């Protein structure tokens, strides 16, 4: 009985510890070696940034066209101030196209969060329609972006959604509790007049950007090898201001000079409808 509980605790800790900031700090030198190895192995990006930009712009333009610029802004404002959009009408109302349709139309596939195919792994992300070709931008890792020196201790406690980039930048993709409040607050702060610079709807069950579910992708195993990998993507300065309303990331501190860090998931092979996405939590391509 005690041994079973201990084994369960050990397994849980092993899958969680690399996201627990105090543990990462204590094991910095060992982690740095592992990270160095990963960096050395993967100096080049799997997909050039320009290609990631192209896919995101393609989807965001369809989303903007379907919601209408003003409706998109209005929806984001509603999400921000009133919380979750509830009615079916608002999820995909009037003549507008649902996020799913926009995704199928622009990228050729759809994603959904569903119970994982792995026992006791909670929720996972599945391709539900179409086919993802190798090298496609499959998903985005939403959340608040912390520089290595910024305080995240409180938010990181019992939080399996903190993602660490090679340069120590952290992305908190938790859609509940303090993490959720921090994201909404930073997003409200960064509004530029009528322009909303980030999307808060990933915090609800109906994200308007359907790619913003990457935080729910589960870790690979021997039986279920990785079919996607993480890749850092700094949003270029010339990214259209009207389309930034679909970006599911926000900087913790407002620093206009720094480009916004996003993390995207890129497919390692063709992935067909019905397959679950699996990543390797210990690797990231620059
Ligand atoms: C970033 S979350 C992924 C989403 C998570 N499945 C959920 O439902 O919230 C990471 C957590 O998912 C679980 N997890 C991920 N991959 C797993 C795997 N291969 N086997 C068991 N649990 C896994 C672990 O509890 C881990 O701490």
What angle is formed at CA 122 by the lines to CA 225 and CA 108, rounded to 5 degrees? 60
Q: Give the separation between CA 19 and CA 15, rounded to whole angstroms.
A: 8
Distance 94 CA to ligand 1 centre (A): 37
Q: Are 266 and 231 in contact (CB under 8 A)?
A: yes
216 CB near ligand 1 (under 6 Å):
yes
Whether 226 shows a pLDDT value over 90: the answer reads yes
Token representation of residue 269: 């092979």
Please report the DSSP string for the chain in residue order: -HHHHHHHHHHHHHHHGGG-HHHHHHTHHHHHHHHHHHHHHT-S-SS-HHHHHHHHHHHHHHHHHHH-HHHHHHHHHHHHHH-S---HHHHS-TTPPPHHHHHHHHHSEEEEEEE-SSTT--EEEEEEEEEEPTT-EEEEE-EEEE-TTS--HHHHTT-TTEEE-TTS-EEE---SHHHHHHHHHHHHHT-BTTB--S--GGGSSS-SSTTTTGGGPEEP-SSS--SEEEEEEEPPTTS-GGGGGG--EEESS--TTSPPEEEEEEESS-EETTPBPEE-TT--B-
Given a cut of 90, whether residue 209 has pLDDT beyond it is: yes
Q: Are 204 and 79 in contact (CB under 8 A)?
A: yes
**Are the CB atoms for 206 and 85 separated by under 8 Å?**
yes
Q: Give percent of the chain with pLDDT exceeding 70.
A: 72
Give the global pTM.
Answer: 0.80
Which burial class, exposed, middle or buried, applies to 99 when counting CB atoms under 10 A from its CB (0-12, 13-18, 19+)? Answer: buried
Contact 143, 215 (CB under 8 A): yes
- Of ligand 1's listed atoms, the one at least distance from the Cα of 118 is 20
Q: What is the mean pLDDT of residues 51-62?
A: 97
End-to-end, the C-alpha distance of the chain in Å comes to 44
Residue of 119, 160, 226, 228 best suited for mutating to test ligand 1, as the one with most atoms within 8 Å of CB: 160
161 C-alpha vs ligand 1 centroid, how far in Å? Answer: 9
Cα 67 to middle of ligand 1, angstroms = 33
pLDDT band at 28 (very low <50, low <70, confident <90, very high): very low
**Looking at ligand 1, which atom is closest to the CA of residue 224?**
19
Measured in whole angstroms, the distance separating CA 30 from the mean position of its chain's CA atoms is 26
**pLDDT band per the 50, 70, 90 thresholds, residue 67:** low
Q: Where does the pLDDT of residue 91 fall: very low under 50, low under 70, confident under 90, or very high at 90 and above?
A: very low
Give the number of other CB atoms < 10 A from CB of residue 238.
7
pLDDT of residue 16: 56
Interface confidence, given as ipTM, is 0.99
- Give every strand in the sheet of 261-267, ordered side by side: 137-141, 261-267, 228-234
Q: Which of these ranges, 3-7, 22-26, 171-175, 219-223, has the smallest mean pLDDT? A: 22-26
- pLDDT tens-digit profile of 94-150? 444 567 888 999 999 999 999 999 998 999 999 999 999 999 999 999 999 999 999
Q: What is the CATH number of domain 2-279?
A: 2.170.270.10
For residues 277 and 271, is the Cβ–Cβ distance under 8 A? yes
pLDDT at 241 over 90: yes
Q: Which of 4, 17, 206 is nearest to 112 (CA)?
A: 206
| Mean pLDDT confidence for 162-166 | 94
Largest CA distance in the chain: 60
Asked if pLDDT for residue 17 goes beyond 60, the answer is no
**Which tokens is 71 given?**
């409706």
Ligand 1 center from residue 230 Cα (angstroms): 16
* Position 53 pLDDT exceeds 50: yes
CA–CA dist 131, 93 (Å, integer): 26
* Atom 20 of ligand 1, residue of closest alpha carbon: 121
């Amino acid at each position: 009985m005690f041994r079973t509980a201990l084994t369960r605790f050990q397994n849980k800790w092993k899958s969680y510890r690399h996201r627990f900031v105090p543990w990462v700090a204590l094991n910095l030198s060992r982690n740095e070696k592992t990270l160095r190895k990963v960096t050395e192995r993967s100096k080049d990006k799997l997909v050039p940034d320009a290609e990631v930009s192209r896919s995101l712009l393609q989807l965001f333009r369809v989303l903007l066209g379907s919601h209408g610029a003003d409706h998109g802004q209005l929806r984001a404002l509603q999400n921000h101030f009133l919380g979750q959009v509830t009615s079916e009408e608002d999820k995909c109302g009037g003549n507008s196209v649902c996020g799913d349709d926009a995704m199928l139309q622009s990228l050729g596939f759809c994603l959904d969060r569903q119970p994982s195919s792995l026992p006791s792994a909670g929720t996972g992300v599945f391709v539900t329609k179409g086919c993802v070709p190798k090298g496609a931008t499959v998903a985005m890792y939403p959340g608040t972006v912390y520089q290595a020196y910024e305080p995240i201790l409180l938010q990181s406690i019992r939080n399996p959604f903190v993602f660490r980039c090679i340069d120590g930048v952290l992305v908190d993709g938790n859609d509940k509790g303090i993490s959720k409040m921090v994201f909404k607050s930073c997003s409200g702060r960064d509004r530029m007049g009528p322009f909303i610079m980030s999307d808060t709807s990933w915090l609800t069950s109906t994200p308007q950007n359907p790619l913003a579910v990457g935080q729910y992708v589960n870790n690979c195993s021997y039986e279920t090898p990785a079919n996607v990998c993480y890749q850092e993507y700094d949003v270029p300065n010339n990214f259209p201001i009207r389309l930034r309303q679909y970006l599911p990331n926000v900087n913790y501190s407002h620093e206009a000079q720094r480009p916004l860090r996003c993390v995207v998931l890129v497919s390692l092979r063709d992935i067909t409808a019905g397959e679950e996405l699996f990543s390797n939590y210990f690797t990231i391509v620059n």
